């Protein structure tokens, strides 16, 4: 398929590379800033622009990999009305295209993307949604060409999935950050926590999160919890968070 990318951020970078490697032809990169359009265009050796009036009109598919707020505006563009238009956002309904594009859909890869870190796209689950059988068939083909795990879901399922991903990734990383601050306060390097962090993730290969749960809250060990809360007295926000997550663990294991 011939593809135009609207957006040149982390997700666009990984997805465009994966599509190119699996034989699709990226014919243009658009980004609102010249720098990022040029960076991804050069990386993929593909023409690029930061001017919407220069968007090519003859691609098979237009992939909007931009922030949610930019998406609302860009979805309005009158570009290639017969082509397929899809976005990659977790929390935006497919309806963002309604009235403006006939053939539309969603292509949501569930992963955290950084420009600096390579990924095996084949292992990333991709969730698709489509406005018609025709779009569905094309999106399934496109998704299967880059990923071994393709699911069809609704906008509402996708929103739940996005919240799950916020907890499993963004909020988990925030807890790594909190832990990093605490070991630093104890004059120790963050590195001492890494074996624990990797093992905590690795455990869920074998065990469900319910089975894998350990720690003072799981054992209802109030002596330890009280010692920890005492030490956290100096930081009310962190103390409240400690209490609430401990309470959540109690509730999930009664």
Binders of a second copy among residues 225 to 254 (CB under 8 A) are 227-228, 231-232, 237, 240-242, 244-245, 247-249, 251-252
Nearer to a second copy, 1 or 119 (CB): 119
Closest CA to 26 of 35, 34, 98, 37: 37
Binders of a second copy among residues 125 to 164 (CB under 8 A) are 125, 149, 151, 153, 156-164
Nearer to a second copy, 53 or 206 (CB): 206
Nearer to a second copy, 134 or 220 (CB): 220
Closest CA to 158 of 101, 88, 208, 64: 88
Each residue 189-228 as x (binds a second copy by CB under 8 A) or -, in order, gives: -x-xxxxxxxxxx-xxxxxxxx-xxxxxxxx-x-xx--xx
Closest CA to 126 of 111, 115, 104: 111
Binders of a second copy among residues 78 to 97 (CB under 8 A) are 90-91
Nearer to a second copy, 141 or 219 (CB): 219
Closest CA to 122 of 14, 251, 246: 14
CA 120 from chain center: how many Å?
14
Query: Which tokens hold the place of 120?
Result: 């095996």
Q: Is 32 in the site for a second copy (CB under 8 A)?
A: no
Tell me how far apart the alpha carbons of residues 109 and 98 are, in angstroms, rounded to a whole number: 22
Query: How near is the Cβ of 213 to a second copy at its closest, in Å?
Result: 5
């Amino acid at each position: 398929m011939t593809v135009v990318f609207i957006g040149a951020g982390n997700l666009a970078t990984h997805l465009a590379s994966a599509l190119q490697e699996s034989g699709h032809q990226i014919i243009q990169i658009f980004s609102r800033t010249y720098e990022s359009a040029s960076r991804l265009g050069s990386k993929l050796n593909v023409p690029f622009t930061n001017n919407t009036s220069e968007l090519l009109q003859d691609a098979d598919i237009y992939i909007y990999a931009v922030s949610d707020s930019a998406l609302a505006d860009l979805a309005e563009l009158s570009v290639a009305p017969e082509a397929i238009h899809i976005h990659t956002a977790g929390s935006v309904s497919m309806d963002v295209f309604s009235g403006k594009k006939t053939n539309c859909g969603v292509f949501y890869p569930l992963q955290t993307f950084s420009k600096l870190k390579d990924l095996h796209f084949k292992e990333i689950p991709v969730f698709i949604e489509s406005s018609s059988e025709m779009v569905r068939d094309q999106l399934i083909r496109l998704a299967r060409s880059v990923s071994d795990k393709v699911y069809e879901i609704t906008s509402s399922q996708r929103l739940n999935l996005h919240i799950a991903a916020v907890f499993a990734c963004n909020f988990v990383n925030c807890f790594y950050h909190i832990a990093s601050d605490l070991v630093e306060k104890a004059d120790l390097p963050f590195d001492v926590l890494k074996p624990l962090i990797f093992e905590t993730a690795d455990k869920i290969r074998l065990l469900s999160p319910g089975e894998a749960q350990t720690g003072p809250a799981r054992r209802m060990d109030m002596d330890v919890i009280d010692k920890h809360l005492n030490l956290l007295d100096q930081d009310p926000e962190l103390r409240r968070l400690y209490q609430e997550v401990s309470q959540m663990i109690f509730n999930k294991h009664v």
